[in-house]
Amino acid sequence: MASSVQELNLLRPGHAACAGCGLAIGMKLVLEVMGPRTVAVIVPSCEGAIGGVYPNTSYGVPTFHSAFEIAAPTAAGIANGLKIQGRDDIQVLAFAGDGGTFDIGLQSLSGVAKNNDDILYVCLDNEAYMNTGIQVSSATPSYAWTNTTPEGNPRRKKNIMEIMAAHYNPYSATATIGYPRDLQQKITKAKGIRGTKFIHLLVPCPTGWRTPSDISPELSILAVETNVFPLYEVEEGRKYTINHEPRRLPVQAYLLKQGRFKHLGEEQIRQVQRDVDEEWEKLKHRASLQG
C-alpha cells in the first residue's frame, strides 16, 4: 500500500520550496490520498513557487493556478463543469494559504460553502503571508513577529474552523503534518463526502517562523501536544469530534523553539496559555454535546 502510494508521486521532487517547508510536505500528503483522478486549484502563494517556472512543474495532477481570492469558486466552477459532462468521479481540490483563506478569499469560500459545491478545500496555514516575505495575516498568532508586526502581532488568530462550522458544511477538520496518518484519514473521509469539505492544515514554515529547517514535523507535533492546535473535526456544523487527546504540554515547549516568539515576556506567554486553555475548554464542551 505504502509503496504504491509513493509511486504516485503527485508532487514531484525538485520544486522550489524552502528547505524544511511544511507546506510542501502537506501538499504531498494530501495529493497522495487524492490520487490521480483529481484536478487541483492553486492560488498565488508558496504553492505557485512550488509549482515551478514554465515549462517545469512539480504537480502530477492537472492544476490550475487561479487568482488569489478565488480558490473556492474556481474549484466549484471546475467541479460543476465536470459534473455537467458526467465526469463527477473526478475530485476537485483547492489549495489556498492562510491569507487566501482567512483574509482575501474568505468571502468567496463562504459563498461556495453556502452553496455546498462539491470540492475539497485545503487551507495550508503557515500563519502569515510567507510568499511575499512574512507579513501579518489574520491567521498569525498573538505576539508573533512578522515584517509588518515588528513589535509582535497585537491580535489573536482568527478561528476559521468556527467560521466554517457556521456554514453547516458537511465536513471540516484540522490537521497538521506531524500527524500524517490523521491527515490522510481525514482526506480519505472527505473524499467520500459530497459537498464542501474544509481541511485546516497547519504547516510550519522555517523561513517565516524563524526555525531550523529540520524541525517542522516536530513543531507540528508540539503545536498539537501543547493544545495550540487541537486535532478535531466538525460535521454539519454540529458534531464535534476531538481526534487526539493531547499531552497538554505548556505552550513554552512550542513557542520558545521559534524565533518569531523569542521576544515574548512571561506575561505574554501566560496570556497565550490562558487563551489556549480557554479554547480547549470550549472545544471539549462542543464535543460533549455531540450534535
Contacting positions for other proteins (CB under 8 A):
36-39, 41, 48, 51-55, 57, 59-67, 69-70, 72-78, 80-85, 90, 107-108, 110-112, 114-115, 117
| Pick 39 or 161: Cβ nearer other proteins | 39
Rounded to a whole number of angstroms, the minimum distance from the CB of residue 7 to other proteins is 15
Between 72 and 123, CB nearer to other proteins: 72
Q: Any idea how long the chain is? A: 291
Question: Could you give the 3-state DSSP secondary structure of residue 134?
Answer: coil
The smaller minimum CB distance to other proteins, of residues 37 and 248, is found at 37
CB of 247 to other proteins, least distance (A): 41
Containing 249, the helix (H) or strand (E) segment is none
Query: At closest approach, how far in Å is the CB of 164 from other proteins?
Result: 15
Least distance to other proteins, CB of residue 23, Å: 17
- Give me the least distance between CB of 100 and other proteins, in Å please: 13
The residue (of 109 and 136) whose beta carbon lies closer to other proteins is 109
Q: 95 CB contacts (<8 Å, ≥6 apart)? A: 27, 30, 40, 41, 42, 43, 45, 47, 71, 122, 124
87 vs 270, beta carbon nearer other proteins? 87
Residue 58 to residue 93: CA distance in whole angstroms: 16
Q: State the amino acid at position 59 in one-letter form.
A: Y
Nearer to other proteins, 37 or 247 (CB): 37
Asked if residues 142 and 272 have their Cβ atoms less than 8 Å apart, the reply is yes
DSSP β-bridge partners for residue 196: 119
Check: CB of residue 244 under 8 Å from CB of residue 231.
yes
The residue whose grid cell reads 473556492 is 72
236: enclosing H helix or E strand: none
Cβ–Cβ under 8 Å, residues 93 and 30: yes
Residue 91 Cβ vs other proteins, minimum distance, rounded to whole Å? 10
